[in-house]
Amino acid sequence: MDHNWYIPGTKPACSIDGKSLAEWQAATGFDASSSCGSVPGLSLPTKAEAEDLESWTQPAFLDRFIPDASWSGCAAGIGAFDCNGKLRVSFKPIAGYSDNQGYGWEGPLIVRQRYPLP
């Protein structure tokens, strides 16, 4: 786990296990190349937008996750979208997995059994 970008929201900023990111990095040695701070251009969707699953594929919703070209993480290749709005990740179906044509659970079903219990 490394090269992550944590967004401050609570005190201490970017808290992991009750420690700031810097304290956690020093104590564990993990995530040494990760950063804490706001990302220019990103904005949180409203609660209504986040709960509206149909909006998740709409440009107005996805544009919130495209960082501004001034962000230092652009050159590091961090994020699901690059700073030009191109999706960095691709999703491929899992062969032989019948759920959602191989793409996995799409639901908001509360309970879904995937594997038989021993």
Tell me what the mean pLDDT of segment 99-112 comes to: 62
- Alpha-carbon span 42 to 104, nearest angstrom: 27
47 and 92 share a domain?
yes
The pLDDT confidence band at residue 5, using thresholds 50, 70 and 90, is confident
Q: Tell me if 114 is assigned to some domain.
A: no
Q: Tell me if 83 is assigned to some domain.
A: yes
53 and 67 share a domain?
yes
Q: For residue 68, with 0-12 CB atoms within 10 Å meaning exposed, 13-18 middle and 19 or more buried, which class applies?
A: exposed
Locate 90 and state its tokens.
């691709």
Most confident range (mean pLDDT) of 9-13, 30-34, 87-91 is: 30-34
Q: Tell me if 112 is assigned to some domain.
A: no
46 and 102 share a domain?
yes
How far are the Cα atoms of 3, 7, 10, 47, 105 from residue 55, in angstroms, in the given order?
A: 29, 23, 27, 12, 17
Residue with the larger pLDDT of the pair 4 and 24: 24
Residue with the larger pLDDT of the pair 29 and 93: 29
Rounded to two decimals, the pTM is 0.55
42: helix, strand or coil = coil
Report how many domains make up the chain: 2
| Token pair 């652009």: residue | 74
Q: Which residues constitute the domain of residue 75?
A: 41-106
What contacts 65, CB < 8 A, 6 or more positions away?
A: 42, 79, 80, 81
Mean model confidence pLDDT for the chain: 79
Tell me what the mean pLDDT of segment 4-13 comes to: 74
pLDDT digits (tens, 9 = 90+) for 15-62: 888 888 889 899 999 888 888 888 888 887 888 888 888 888 888 888
52 and 34 share a domain?
no
58 and 92 share a domain?
yes
- pLDDT (0 to 100) of residue 27: 93
Q: Tell me if 111 is assigned to some domain.
A: no
- Alpha-carbon span 15 to 24, nearest angstrom: 8
71 and 89 share a domain?
yes
12 and 47 share a domain?
no
55 and 6 share a domain?
no
- Alpha-carbon span 108 to 118, nearest angstrom: 26
- pLDDT (0 to 100) of residue 13: 75
2 and 17 share a domain?
yes
